[in-house]
Chain A
Amino acid sequence: MKPLWITMLALLLCRGALAQDAPAPLKPGTGDDVASAYCNACHTSDYIIMNSMFLSADAWKAEVTKMRKAFGAPIDDETAAVITAYLAANYAVPAKP
């Protein structure tokens, strides 16, 4: 897993002049610190909350993959698994029976 300080530095460097308020906090849960640090490097956590609660666990997994493969987010497999599990547990709709 990449040291957290690298991500935090990236976050500081790309915070725009527009950020008016602290972004809405993510729900507390296992992996919330990792999700917050990595996701916030490129966008506020509002992006996650805005896209809830309607994505399936698989759809969140696809989103994390998209951030890594299409957007070049420096997230290794282990970290991605933590973030995906956090999003699935806190922001996914329950699977339909």
Chain B
Amino acid sequence: MKSYKGMLAKRLRLVLAGCAMALTAVTSAAAAWPERPVTVVVPFAAGGGTDATARILASLLQRELGQPFNVVNRPGGNGLVGHTAVAQAEPNGYTIGIATTELGSYKPMGLADLTPTASYTPIALYNFDPAAVHVPAESKFKDLPSLLQALKSGERVRISTGGPLGGSWHSAFSLLLLKQGINPATVAFVPSNGAAPGLQEMISGGVDATASSLPEAKPLVDAGKVRSLAVVGLQRLTTFPNVPTTKEAVGTEVTGGAWRAIMAPKGTPNDVRDRLVGAVEKIVATEEFKKFMNDRGFGISWAKGRDLDTFLAENEKSLGDTLKAVGLAK
């Protein structure tokens, strides 16, 4: 019994010492961040696109700031688990995370009270990939107007969403339909486990069109199996100069797609945030980062501070509106 008490006292001391250390860590965080390794939470599994961008960013941040940046994957619930982990972490700069488009869908769909604008200290946007519309090479739809015309006339066109319903590509395409005066709730959207399975379903004849990013369809376009009709954005992509924008194709100015940003927990000290923003800004401008993003087919998009706040707010609103229009919002 005595030895048990002794152990308890010893443990208590340890815990207290730990608390004291944690406290000093918090107070000194502002002074000379980062003084110890930083955890970068990725809300998707290792090996995916989000994970790959996080790992290159982490290795460059490590070089820039002199402390290890450890990538930790917290997949689950279409990204909800990892996004929640960052939002609930201690706001001391030692836990940051990657946030993705999915973050905007949790609240409208009634899954969690988590939003890009209210739940975090946004650091920087580093990637945006606009959605595009693809059809099989032999499809009767030669361009975007003919596809939209068919949808307007009430013809049953099956469209793969290249991911879950309510995901980036589904939302972006629905936004285009809304602006064209077509009710997206009447369209036969078919969900899939990602862009590649969606495109596979299309070339096998299971659906008539697929929404996904342009690079995701590139191997099949090169193989002569798929044609990309238009990209849902304001400018053509330099890597796909032959694919018209929705503005050129049907005269609708609309942007929609998938984004990735670095976020810190809400309440992260301003000077930590500023150091992090500065470091990421330097990294995004390096040849190394540009080459990586370009080779993987990811578009670099940069926003910080007020621009980022505006970007996140606009995305949150349009995603919310779209989810309501397709009937997925609670």
A and B: real partners?
A: no
Please give the residue numbers on chain A whose beta carbons come within 8 Å of chain B beta carbons, in ascending order.
none
